[in-house]
Amino acid sequence: MSKAIAGFSKLSKQEKINWLANEHFSDPQAAKKLLENYWNTDADVQKLHDEFIENTITNFYLPLGIAPGFIINGREYTIPMAIEESSVVAAASKAAKFWATRGGFKATVLNTEKIGQVHFMYKGDPEKLNAFFKATKKEFFTDTETITKNMQKRGGGILNIELRDKTALIPNYYQLHATFETVDSMGANFINSCLEQFSKTLREEALLYTAFTEDEQQIQVVMSILSNYVPNCVVRAEVSCPVEELNEDKNISPEEFATKFLAAVQIAEVEPYRAVTHNKGIMNGIDAVVVATGNDFRAVEAGVHAYATKEGQYSSLSHAKVADGVFTFWLDVPLALGTVGGLTTLHPLVKLSLEMLGNPTAQELMQVVAVAGLAQNFGALRSLTTTGIQQGHMKMHLMNILNQLEATDDEKQQAIKHFEKNTVSHSAATDFVNNLRTIDPAHVEEDFL
């Protein structure tokens, strides 16, 4: 092990890169050059990026695309999407175009409640603990007033605190279960600060509570942390139109399309193996906008998938029905998002993305993100139940294959024209490019023209 590892975090950025290149790469100079190629040419912007996390050596780029033409609650949006997967942006854009002429998307925030918990151990009489909590509950609010003051001015704060007995699951295990409103911030730091004060108040007040025995006064706080499961911070996105207006594809009648579409959703509702992939498609749209707007996609993913199991089995997040000749497709999804704090005011492209959306409130961003997920799901199900998903996806993926093959611009143009009428696969693209490289260039040009 290199001695340079000792005190690694204290090394300069260049020293870290030198150590990395020399220790882990056969061509250290090539590794250094590659890392430096992805630095921002603006030194101030690069310094900002370097300070987002620890031990930064370079930037890892994702493409930032846009899906224009979304009509949401009567307003037109161009939605930013940061994602590397082929066909996601195209599918969202196509779905936006389809529904723009059929009334657009409707979105409603159902609730914005967020949750945090103090997990603790108490070895004593449960009735005494209940009496203690009732007697001291107001102290939890009083002791956090300095933390909640600014949030309360914006209309947020602590909504409620409950004592929950979890001893049936783990001996001596209890919770302070708190709910919060964090307005336009995601609120993680605010919630965690409140919870840590709760734990301090809990321990201190227990020592002063005369009804407790000496053993009962020794409450052990295990941890204080927010929950990324937010089943009461939910937004609904939906679309609807008469069945006869589902007439875009000439190869299938609107009625047959609706029947197959409903069956596809029903399968995802009852079959977990399908539901996981079905919901992953929804998250293609959701995550892309969450990343572009500087929010925590890992927290969103964890909360969404937990929500998908709320009925006891993993199931579809989206649902569909036909009633009185009207097709309706909707999605309920928990989204704890923010438009202030975190990277929202620091990352230049996050600021640009939020401005692109009209500098939305957190609730407006929830609506946009949910719509992106529904649009993505609609596009995927439409392809699956008609042409099949690979036809469109592989044509979008063709450019990635051609880049892997280091195809020239001329070879790319000829391949794109060829695969307009032929099935795309990695082997087919490889064979086509190899054939181009073994035949007369003049003949290739003649064929292409």
Q: Are residues 374 and 238 in the same domain?
A: yes
Q: Are residues 364 and 405 in the same domain?
A: no
Q: Are residues 256 and 375 in the same domain?
A: yes
Q: Are residues 241 and 347 in the same domain?
A: yes
> What is the chain's Cα-based Rg?
27
Domain of residue 402: give its range.
392-448
At residue 174, the pLDDT reads: 98
Active site residue 149: no
**Single-letter code of the amino acid located at 98:** F
Q: Are residues 208 and 254 in the same domain?
A: no
Q: Are residues 333 and 187 in the same domain?
A: no
Tally of domains in the chain: 4
At residue 448, the pLDDT reads: 37
Q: Rounded to 5, what percent of the chain is helix, strand, coil?
A: 50, 20, 30
Active site residue 27: no
Q: Are the beta carbons of 115 and 177 closer than 8 angstroms?
A: yes
Listed residue (338, 343, 334) closest to 370, CA to CA: 334
Catalytic residue among 49, 119, 393, 418: 393
What CA–CA distance (Å, rounded) separates 138 from 160?
10
Q: Are residues 302 and 326 in the same domain?
A: yes
At residue 447, the pLDDT reads: 39
Active site residue 238: no
Active site residue 280: yes
Write the CA distances from 308 to 36, 173, 312, 318, 369, integer angstroms. Answer: 42, 27, 9, 10, 17
Q: Are residues 258 and 340 in the same domain?
A: yes
Q: Which residue has the tokens 């001596």?
A: 172
pLDDT tens-digit profile, the chain (449 residues): 444 477 898 999 999 999 999 999 999 999 999 999 999 999 999 999 999 999 999 999 999 999 999 999 999 999 999 999 989 999 999 999 999 999 999 999 999 999 999 999 999 999 999 999 999 999 999 999 999 999 999 999 999 999 999 999 999 999 999 999 999 999 999 999 999 999 999 999 999 999 999 999 999 999 999 999 999 999 999 999 999 999 877 789 999 999 999 999 999 999 999 999 999 999 999 999 999 999 999 999 999 999 999 999 999 999 999 999 999 999 999 999 999 988 888 899 999 999 999 999 999 999 999 999 999 999 999 999 987 655 555 656 687 788 888 888 888 888 888 887 777 888 888 888 888 888 755 444 443 33
Q: Are residues 239 and 373 in the same domain?
A: yes
At residue 331, the pLDDT reads: 98
**Single-letter code of the amino acid located at 54:** E
Tokens of 29: 């100079």
Catalytic residue among 50, 85, 216, 301: 85
Catalytic residue among 280, 305, 321, 426: 280
Q: Are residues 169 and 191 in the same domain?
A: yes
Q: Which residue has the tokens 């307005």?
A: 183
Catalytic residue among 296, 347, 364, 418: 296
Q: Are residues 416 and 296 in the same domain?
A: no
Phi then psi for residue 267, to 5 deg, are -60, -45
DSSP 105: B
Q: Are residues 96 and 27 in the same domain?
A: no
Structural domain includes residue 78: no
pTM of the prediction? 0.86
